[in-house]
A and B are shown apart, each in its own frame.
Chain A
Amino acid sequence: MKPAPFEYSRATSTVEACELLRRHGDEAKILAGGQSLVPMMAMRLVRPAWLIDINEISALKFVNIEKDAVRVGACTRQCTVERDQALAVRVPLLAQALAWVGHVQTRNRGTIGGSLAHADPCAELPLVAQVLGARMLLRSAKGTRLVEAEKFFSGPMATSARSDECLEEIQWPAWSWRHTGSAFTEISVRHGDFAMVAAAAQIAVDGDGRCVRAAFGMGGAGGTPLAFPKIAARLVGTRLDDEVVKDAAHAAAAETEPGSDLHASAEYRRHLAGVLAARVLREARERARSVR
């Protein structure tokens, strides 16, 4: 047995999970799909005294498609969302990103909320949440609060959730423009590995191909996933010509603060950030334009 000993409790409801968090929060961890937490515990990078298992809480597993947003329960498996055709139409960027998350075996177990709460700055789902401005519904014994992605991701592997709070659902904004397109890409050593840099974009255009809304961002290029709302806003009203897109991508890349490690230097990551951002913006533009 590799992890340090811990007390284990299988919560049967969100209320029970919150009560356990109220009692043990400071020394407890929520166990969702376990695809990041279990290896970290095996390496003893984390040693929670309590694990609160939320896998059997059926109320945390749902996909609700609403007019302006798709609400996803925190413990919904990544494979469930990946296969949801209706969700892919409403939040195409999320569906595209999921294909890059780990492998079949890890997506069968890994959860949407688990990936967000883990807040790896290289991970795909936090990037999509940041780019689209997803909202996290956090519950504690005292009640609930909604936190915007921008405020949720506070640093590498860190969120603004308090130790007595459990992520309950994620609200993914669904754009209503008919001509909406999105794209996701990343560079990693092998498919399914951690991204050196990832990029995501979503674009809406009017019938004449003029941009009415743009959002894009990069992962692996700073302590949190990065979105560039001000730079994206400058794309609105343009025809998104290649030069315009390239300028926006490079302006964003200049604002990144990537680190260096064994796999890539900071300089190379910043270079990738610019190249990949331009690529996803162009792909999203083409997809938006091709909607009939």
Chain B
Amino acid sequence: MSETLHTVSVEVNGKPRSAQVPARLSLVDWLREDLWLTGTHIGCEHGICGACSVMLDGEPVRSCLMYAVQAHGHRITTVEGLAKPDGSLSVLQDSFCETHGLQCGYCTPGMLIASQALLNSNPNPTEEQIRDAIGGNLCRCTGYQQIVEAVQLAAERMRAR
């Protein structure tokens, strides 16, 4: 059966990307399978785990709960877009390494997107605010403490600049 294709033109990590996609293609599948941006992870595929978090116009959203066609005309930032232009890690990413915030690494892209979005709007978050910001992201290693420490460390370093 042939499905109707729709145009999607999006800015992904600062670069214009466009494609013809079936309406039922999720944003995360398009990012991973067509654009090869495999940093964004797929976990539950129904909006529970947060692994697929990306920024839509600067705000974190779940990319498994959006169809790619819906991103048309918007701006997407994936975990690949967090690193510095020369490819070196961001302050937040460095902090995750230092505090052992990665563990198995599966939830990390979603955690990075959620906590970077928090730091963008709140450079000095309390522990409670950090826990609230990553509340929609599951870590099955259950090492939330190091993740919270990573965000605290990054906030401290970013303020010191």
Contacts and interface: CB of A to CB of B under 8 A. Distances in A.
Given A5-B1, A191-B135, A35 B60 contact: no
A67 to B, nearest CB: 32
Contacts of B117: 104
Contact of A105 (B24, B45, B50): B50
Contacts of A79: 59
Contacts of A35: 47, 62, 65
Interface residues of B, number: 34
Interface residues of A, number: 31
Nearest to B6: A8
Interface string B1-29: 10110100000000000000011111001
Interface stretch (B66-74, B85-93, B96-104, B139-147): B66-74
Contact of B61 (A3, A8, A42, A108): A108
Contacts of A171: none
A271 B59 CA distance: 39
Contacts of B66: 34, 38, 109
Interface in A225-273: none
Nearest to B4: A7
A39 interface: yes
Nearest to B133: A104
Nearest to B69: A8
A156 interface: no
A114 to B, nearest CB: 12
Contact of A39 (B50, B65, B114, B132): B65
B156 to A, nearest CB: 22
Contacts of A104: 60, 114, 117, 132-133, 135-136
A109 B65 contact: yes
Contacts of B6: 8
Interface in A25-67: 31, 34-35, 38-39, 41-43, 51, 53, 55-56
Contacts, number: 89
Contacts of A2: 24, 26, 45
A252 to B, nearest CB: 30
A163 interface: no
B37 interface: no
Contacts of A8: 4, 6, 23, 67, 69
Contacts of B29: 1
Interface centre among A42, A43, A103, A105 (most CB of B within 10 A): A105
A117 to B, nearest CB: 16
B133 A5 contact: no
Contacts of B133: 104
Interface of A: 1-8, 10, 31, 34-35, 38-39, 41-43, 51, 53, 55-56, 79, 102-106, 108-109, 191-192
Given A8-B69, A109-B61, A192-B135, 16 more contacts: A1-B24, A2-B24, A2-B26, A7-B23, A34-B70, A35-B65, A38-B65, A38-B67, A39-B47, A42-B64, A43-B46, A56-B73, A105-B61, A108-B60, A109-B62, A191-B135
15 contacts: A1-B24, A1-B25, A5-B23, A6-B23, A6-B24, A8-B67, A34-B70, A35-B47, A38-B65, A38-B66, A43-B46, A55-B70, A79-B59, A105-B61, A108-B56
